[in-house]
Structure 1
Amino acid sequence: MIASRTIRFSRLGTTAGHRPGAIRPNRHGGPRLPGMHSEEVEIRTGGREVVRDLNTECEKFLRGAGGDEGLLHLWVPHATAGIAVIETGAGSDEDLLTALRELLPVDDRWRHRHGSYGHGRDHVLPAFVAPFVSVPVLGGRMALGTWQSVCLVDTNTDNPTRRVRMSFLRG
């Protein structure tokens, strides 16, 4: 048998010393407002296949958003890129690109044929590396494992820049 319980949350919640519905300060001393904060950043990939660590950009965004507790969501509004949570720096990023080259070869098998040779594979990439990821934020930090990084995965060499939408939903 699976036990369940219902937890009710008020819009802003309550904290000791604060009345229900009151706006309470975040850990940076600023107001902790309900809702969502969203920004778009431009990432330069240099027109090459890349697994690009976004942790620094995510942390900067969370500081600006007053992100204390909640959910960080990243979205790539492109048909040929994705977002992954993966280890970087120990070769896993290059291993991912190698695996994608084997799984999605750069050749003329693709029906989608505009752009550079083999570009059709780039349009299949988001089926394997989704264009979004959500990460819990606890105490103002992404709740990632020791070696995990949020990364832009881009195999499309036709586009040297990408946009990444970061949204923080306060908890």
Structure 2
Amino acid sequence: MLSEAFEISTSGRLVTDITDRVEAFCKEARDDGIVHVFLPHATAGLALMETGSGSEEDLEGVIARLLPRDDRYVHRHGSTGHGGDHLLPVFVSPSLALAVERGGLALGTWQRVVVIDPNRENNRRQVQLRLVGG
């Protein structure tokens, strides 16, 4: 099993594309298998989505409606609305399992691997990758 961890900065962005980094990791294996992508954080998740077409802004609107940044949450440490950040992983999983074929991600034409991070208090995220051979 091949594994790697790296850190990213989300720098106030809701969506951060990590596809190229995951793809580079898979190329090292030059084989088929499954790559498990894991984000060990309580307020962020991973998703497959199209980027650069306005989807990021659409997602921002959906999350704002679903998890408003106000003081309605019982979980209240941190800034206003941070309790909602802790609910995000219920809807956006902190892990993905993706097919790898001949050392490359088997993604659809417009699919990108992204970190979804609404947390304004912590912009450093660790991403863990594990490749299991087929």
TM norm structure 2: 0.96
Contact 2:17 2:114 in 1 (8 A): yes
Alignment partner of 2:20 out of 41, 56, 59? 56
- Could you list the structure 1 runs, at least 4 aligned residues long, displaced by more than 6 angstroms after superposition: none
Instruction: Report the Cα distance in structure 2 between the residues aligned to 1:102 and 1:49, rounded to whole angstroms.
Output: 17
Q: Deviations over 1:53-94 (max 9, x none)?
A: 111110111123x14100011000000000000110101122
Could you tell me how far apart the structure 1 residues matched to 2:6 and 2:91 are?
23
Q: Secondary structure at the match of 1:58?
A: helix
3-state SS, counterpart of residue 112 of structure 2: strand
Q: Quick check: 1:96 aligned with 2:96? A: no
Contact preservation (8 Å) 1:74, 1:133: yes
Query: CA deviation digits over 1:2-38, x for unaligned, max 9?
Result: xxxxxxxxxxxxxxxxxxxxxxxxxxxxxxxxxx111
Q: Deviations over 1:84-135 (max 9, x none)?
A: 0011010112211210111000000001101111100000000000000111
Q: Which structure 1 residue ranges, 5 or more long, are not aligned?
A: 1-35
Which structure has more relative contact order (CA 8 Å, sep 6+)? It is 2
1:1-171 aligned within 5 A: 36-46=1-11, 48-64=12-28, 66-171=29-134
The structure with the larger Rg is: 1
In structure 2, list runs of 5 or more residues that go unmatched: none
Letter in structure 2 aligned against 1:57:
R
Count, aligned residues? 134
